[in-house]
Structure 1
């Protein structure tokens, strides 16, 4: 008996990716040129009949929608790597849509993926709003969020509050009293609220005369560089950044103004980006295993598709990496 033609066979025949063939079969976007070649290959092999017969039998598309806020991010790249690895291990493919940091676009992308017939949707969300919750209840497809949490949705994420506490205790143990926290808007509950609150709570606890001033920078290198001058007006002994990327902009400002790190001011962040190990000085950070978050999130959506309960104990370890950018402070 002849071997059945697979999606990979079609992809190889016309020299396109496997995901391009899947998008074509599920009415997703494929260039006109590739669509024509895929159509011809399908007609030549009779593949489409087999594909849809199998789909009707299993009632599965073997496709997972993935909504991302942006692509130019170290964390998103690592998250996606973990997601794709677990999906491929289970013969699933991801369809990715980018929201460009827009909540409205994020909601549109969820609806679009649902209409394309995916088996489940992973949302690396900017914020979980009432509209998100309405979609979860309205659309008949499993959804899982990562990056944010809400009691009315399924989610898997790092413990941002605990990460903040780890850094807060670290700066307190180093003898700091006056620290600036460079962060993001509180619309982002995970980074803008939980991470900041964890730091403030731990740093000020049993730390007399301690203070934390807040400067909003957003996530960008450029904005953090612009706001560094404002931070220095508080005469802090240290600056703690909501992400390592924020630290990069501030570190540039400090270097340009001959402010020595850590001799004159300490600097630390969150994320554990590889670049932190090659900066001068090397950057102290609380590292997150975003690859593992991706794996756990992908497994979570697969479990939901199978009707299983989500494992609430998928805790991702947090690790303080102590490098050269923080010193023991003495107020002599």
Structure 2
């Protein structure tokens, strides 16, 4: 099996140069880099991870933390797609991923876990802003990127969808169909996504001079069960909205089931709009109109941003990804 010395000898460069190419140092000329990479591929050379971590003070490992408050793990459609995008980028760069999961309320130190596993950087998804362990992580100088949580630090930034705008286009779509009584099923207030989607919902209703009836806003968990129970509460009201914006597709699917169980139908009696555009949303009947956020792109941008921080780029900025409306069959125009 070839060693790093063998690669250097065949390529006609120093061992230091080969090491820099392997670890993607920027101070190597492109021709030299290409020559070394060609020899590495020809000789099927694989650097020893332990030796490499000792020489570079890097483990080529990334820690991914996600809040599993629904006990769904990687089956959760949002987490699954974002993580796939993350893995896609890091695989190409030779990094391994370590997954950590916890539930809200657990005593859990992101900093200690990161240090114990010697990760080069951390990605946090689904964490509430109120989590007391976040500040400690930020102050630890461990390179960190947050998904759906707008926190920045010396070595921290975030990637998020434009949730405010996404909620606005959902309300505007319903308004254009003639709906004036619009309710909302929202996620837990302590999440950034729920807060921003509520802000967008209320801002657009104010712009359109629609009544912000708080009885039509039900807070619940981001799940089918949560959507089902919330819609049941809305259906029990004497005065009901004609349309409901659900802050998540799973909520909308649960709401659809509640509507049908009570003898009503979508969209004849109630129009529904979801958020996320998870895969199942196009296959339920009626197919769900929803606000699309590009979860794969979110994962890719998260990985790229974290690599910039790890490699000490002079500047790195938060990334806000656009959303767009996907029109399907769960909404109907009314007079």
Q: Look up the match of 1:83.
A: 86
**How far did residue 53 of structure 1 move?**
3.0
Residues 71-101 of structure 1, C-alpha deviations (whole Å, 9 max, x = no match): 231010000000000001111111001113x
Residues 154-178 of structure 1, C-alpha deviations (whole Å, 9 max, x = no match): 1111111111111122122222111
Q: Look up the match of 1:196.
A: 198
Aligned length: 283
SS of structure 2 residue aligned to 1:64: strand
Quick one: distance in 2 between partners of 1:197 and 1:95?
35
Quick one: distance in 1 between partners of 2:208 and 2:185?
23
Q: Look up the match of 1:304.
A: 309
Match of 2:333 among 313, 328, 331: 328
Match of 1:55 among 33, 53, 56: 53
**How far did residue 247 of structure 1 move?**
0.8
Quick one: distance in 1 between partners of 2:117 and 2:105?
20
Quick one: distance in 2 between partners of 1:83 and 1:163?
23
Quick one: distance in 2 between partners of 1:310 and 1:68?
26
Residues 130-150 of structure 1, C-alpha deviations (whole Å, 9 max, x = no match): 734431343242111112112
Q: Is 1:69 the equivalent of 2:70?
A: no
TM-score (norm 2): 0.78
SS of structure 2 residue aligned to 1:320: strand
Q: Is the 8 A contact 1:174 1:329 kept in 2?
A: yes
**How far did residue 113 of structure 1 move?**
2.1
**How far did residue 227 of structure 1 move?**
2.6
Q: Look up the match of 1:293.
A: 298
Q: Is 1:205 the equivalent of 2:203?
A: no
Match of 1:270 among 266, 269, 275: 275
Q: Is the 8 A contact 2:243 2:271 kept in 1?
A: yes
Quick one: distance in 2 between partners of 1:282 and 1:137?
42
CA gap of 1:103–1:50, structure 2 versus 1, over 3 A, is same
CA gap of 1:310–1:114, structure 2 versus 1, over 3 A, is farther
CA gap of 1:301–1:103, structure 2 versus 1, over 3 A, is farther
Quick one: distance in 2 between partners of 1:277 and 1:208?
29
5+ residue gaps in structure 1?
Answer: 6-48
**How far did residue 249 of structure 1 move?**
1.0
Matching of residues 1-332 of structure 1 within 5 Å: 2-4=1-3, 50-70=48-68, 71=73, 72-100=75-103, 102=104, 104-105=106-107, 107-129=108-130, 131-152=132-153, 153-190=156-193, 192-209=194-211, 211=213, 213-232=216-235, 233=237, 234-309=239-314, 311-312=316-317, 314-330=319-335
Quick one: distance in 2 between partners of 1:310 and 1:259?
54
TM-score (norm 1): 0.79
**How far did residue 51 of structure 1 move?**
4.0
SS of structure 1 residue aligned to 2:109: helix
